[in-house]
Chain A
Amino acid sequence: MTFEEAQQELEQIVQRLESGEAPLDEALKLWERGEELYRFCKERLDTAEGKIEELASRAEAAKP
């Protein structure tokens, strides 16, 4: 799953929940799934380390 897909699904879930049309069982399932998606997205942002690399030095480092 990509970040975009997760974020999109999360926003759709929120919309469905806020419409108040979901029966309780579904609402609880949606909430669980939403939390999962939220954690996934948050993790993707938190674990990215942020680095600038030069291709030339990478190629150099890859040599045996």
Chain B
Amino acid sequence: MKVEAIEYGDRKVFSVGAFNRGVASWLQRLPTVWVEGEVTELRRSERWASVFFTLKDPQDGSCLGVSMARGQFDALRLELADGDRVHAYGRPELFEARGEFRLRVLSLERFGLGEHLAALERLKAKLAAEGLFAAERKRPLPLLPARIGLVTGNDAAAKRDVLTAVTTRFPPANVLVAETYVQGPRAAGAVVEALRALCREGVDVVVVARGGGSFEDLLPFSDERLVRAIADCPVPVVSAVGHEQDTPLCDLAADVRASTPSVAGRLVVPDLAQLLERLDRSRAGLERGTRRSLERERRRLDGTHERLARAPRLLLERRRAKLEQSAGRLRTLSPKATLERGYAIVRAGEQIVRSGGAVQPGEHVDVELAEGGFGARVEETR
């Protein structure tokens, strides 16, 4: 279409209508594409030729106006509700009368279970590749949390199960509960906000609990924002979402996965009775150990004392033994022992006679024997 401009000197000026027509014709050259988003603000009237709705990006909230021929829309019988995910096939279009840009949709499909599953698998693979589910990221739960955060729906069951399990096991527990949406298009954002609010208030551990539900019901718990928020949470997170067989992605990102809300409750607190018993056992051990140490030292001291007392007597005995030994040696050296063997000592006067030449025949000598002795006269010398 030819777009006429009015010329004012060297300035070309378009009327609004001409400008819109120009943009509209340029937009028509763009290709027809598929767009994915959540349906909101659906407006349909028997008086209108088209139905209108807004497609919303669940990740960043971007919006796109959509129009579709009413006959075509009705024929699809999609029965769309707010928050339903769709794939729309169309091309950009300008509503010239109002200068509004829209997506003119030619075909519309509900984003079905299969697509959801495939999208979930892709997201799972992407987050796993980033290491969000890695075992080394998992943090241990505190043994005795000063305060426990609980994110849960206002449906009583999950909340009651967690609280009952916590207070049964550990009556003095301190719990801060954040009730939030756990289903529908607002759930993911609301849970993320609840997590942050709890952490701002100061908690040592957070339990995210939601009872079982359909695959769609649990989808918010696989939302990328929520999964990332759980992985980035400054305190450990226990996830108890759905039933055992459901594995929403938040379970993989959490530090601990609990099969039910009750199990989650039992995991975040210690058993008070057991804890007290353990403490008392420690105290008994403390006393026993110290007493044992004291007794051992006392025994050692007693032993040392006894040895100290024995020391002088020991010395005396040792000396006596030595004396005995000396006496024995003295005895062996005395002439008495030699006399016993049959020898005799001969004396002339005071002198001991050692050779024949020392005496004269007829001289008197004294002979000493082992037993007694006798006097004798020398007969001859040799």
Q: A: which residues have CB within 8 A of B?
A: 2-4, 7, 10-11, 13-14, 16-18, 20, 22-24, 27-28, 30-31, 34-35, 38, 41-42, 44-45, 48-56, 58-59
B 167-182 binary contact with A (CB < 8 Å = 1; else 0): 1000111111111000
B 136-161 binary contact with A (CB < 8 Å = 1; else 0): 00000011101000000000000000
- Please report the C-alpha to C-alpha distance between residue A11 and residue B286 in the assembled complex, in whole angstroms: 9
- Of B144, B172, B285, B294, the contact of A27 (CB 8 Å cutoff): B294
Q: Are A58 and B201 in contact (CB under 8 A)?
A: yes
A11-B282, A20-B296, A41-B279 given; A55·B290 CB < 8 A: no
Q: B: which residues have CB within 8 A of A?
A: 142-144, 146, 163, 167, 171-179, 194, 197-198, 201, 272, 275-276, 278-279, 282-283, 285-290, 292-294, 296-297
B interface: dominant SS: helix
- Of B279, B283, B285, B290, the contact of A28 (CB 8 Å cutoff): B290
Q: Which residues of B contact A55 (CB under 8 A)?
A: 176-179, 194, 197-198, 201
Q: Which residues of B contact A38 (CB under 8 A)?
A: 279, 282-283, 286
Q: Are A50 and B282 in contact (CB under 8 A)?
A: no
Q: Which residues of A contact B286 (CB under 8 A)?
A: 10, 13-14, 17, 31, 34-35, 38
Minimum CB distance partner of A33 in chain B = B286
Q: Are B293 and A3 in contact (CB under 8 A)?
A: no
Q: Are A34 and B172 in contact (CB under 8 A)?
A: no
A interface: dominant SS: helix
- Please report the C-alpha to C-alpha distance between residue A14 and residue B176 in the assembled complex, in whole angstroms: 36
- Please report the C-alpha to C-alpha distance between residue A17 and residue B365 in the assembled complex, in whole angstroms: 89
- Please report the C-alpha to C-alpha distance between residue A18 and residue B282 in the assembled complex, in whole angstroms: 11
